[in-house]
Amino acid sequence: MANPYGSFSGNPKTEWLTEPGTEDRNMRLLAAFWYKDPAGRVWPAPKGSVINGASIPRPLWSTVGSPYTDDYRRASVVHDVACDSPSVPRKDADVMFYFACLAGGCSPLQARILYAGVRLGAWASDNLTDRSMSAGELLFREQIGVPFVDEAFLKGKLSEISADMKTLPDDTSIEQLDRAIARHIKV
């Protein structure tokens, strides 16, 4: 039986990249990889693409998960590539990520919370100054001389949004998810 949330081309084939002065989180795809969403749209991640796993702020790793763990790993690959594509609106990439999380085996609740997280990330990218965000691989990391975002504020927002996500039924639509998120932030 076909997965109603879409399908992946398989497992991504990658190599770790070692780069001086970084946390060595980046990986390069050694073969093309893709996700086909429920509408039949194929989201490609071409061979040679550089990815860095789910862009989850380090302070949330203990509650949400780390960048390369859990059933959202494959979804993060195509999301990374889509977010780097100037022809793909961020909102479209985030909606794809939600369905790819479900296709990858995430529970509906986990997919809702992860979707809220990427929408919060989009909000932070649009609303926080460059000086308040890390210019490195991870958001919310302190660099010498660069103040970091009020992590407690963002953690609190994600906690509030997650509480709302827990009250929603498994068949909640994207529009309903967006309304729940909009009660906390304007994306």
pLDDT truncated to tens, each residue of the chain (187 aa)? 689 999 999 999 999 988 787 767 789 999 999 999 999 999 999 999 999 876 665 555 656 666 677 888 999 999 999 999 999 999 999 999 999 999 999 999 999 999 998 888 888 778 765 544 444 444 444 444 444 556 677 778 888 999 999 999 999 999 999 999 999 987 6
- pLDDT at residue number 138: 44
pLDDT the model gives residue 54: 63
pLDDT of 20:
81
Residue 75 near residue 103, CB atoms below 8 Å:
yes
The pLDDT, as a whole number, for residue 67 is 65
The first and second tokens of residue 121, run together, are: 């990330």
- Check residue 26 and give its pLDDT: 87
Q: Tell me how far CA of residue 179 lies from CA of 50, 60, 91, 122, 173, in angstroms.
A: 33, 23, 14, 16, 10
Given this model, what pLDDT does residue 55 score? 63
Give Cβ neighbours of residue 177 (< 8 Å, ≥ 6 apart).
98, 112, 115, 116, 165, 168
Q: What's the whole-model pTM score?
A: 0.85
Count the Cβ atoms, other than its own, within 10 Å of residue 81. 22
What's residue 150's pLDDT?
Answer: 61
Handedness of CA 135, 141, 147, 148 (dihedral sign): positive
